[in-house]
Amino acid sequence: MSDWVVVTPEPLSLDTAVRHVEHESAGAISTFVGTTRDNFQGKVVEHLEYEGYVPMAEKELKNICVSIRTKWPHVVGIAMLHRLGVVAVKEASVIIAVSSPHRQEALEAVAYGIDTLKARVPIWKLEKYAGDDRVWKENPEWRTMVPIE
C-alpha cells in the first residue's frame, strides 16, 4: 500500500483519508484532525492562513512516512494531508490517518506524525484575529527540530 501525501488549497476530507488507509489486514485506523478554533489567548480568531512551498513540504511529509514505517514496521497505510490558504473556523488544516494490525502502533504513529510534521514541514501559519490583527505563529516544535530518523 502506498503512502498518500497531499499539500493543497482544497478542503480536506477525513473520509477520503480513512478510505485510503483501509485494508483487510488492518484492525485499527487512528486519525488526527487539526481544525481552526475560534479563539486564542482571549482573542477572536476569524481564520488561519497557511503558506508553504509544496514540493519541499510534500518531500518532508514523505520522509515522515518513511520514518513511521521504520519505527512501526507493521503499519499498513499512511495518509498525511495539509491545507494551504485560508482555513475557516471549524475546518481542517491537517489530517493524518494511519492503519495497522493493532491499535497501539497506529496511535503511536499518528502522534509521532503530527509532532514531527509540526517540527519539520515548511508550512507557516498566520492567525487572523477580529479587528484586522494578524500574527504569524511559530510551532513550538520548530525550536526542538525533531530529527527524521
As a whole number of angstroms, the distance between CA 42 and CA 40 comes to 6
Phi, psi of 132 (to 5 degrees): 65, 25
Is 118 marked within a binding site? yes
Is 120 marked within a binding site? no
Is 12 marked within a binding site? no
As a whole number of angstroms, the distance between CA 103 and CA 42 comes to 37
Q: What is the pTM of this model?
A: 0.89
Please give the domain boundaries of the chain with CATH numbers for all domains.
Answer: 2-134 (3.90.1170.40)
Digit-coded pLDDT (tens) for 40-95: 989 999 999 999 999 999 999 999 999 999 999 999 999 999 999 999 999 999 99
As a whole number of angstroms, the distance between CA 121 and CA 53 comes to 9
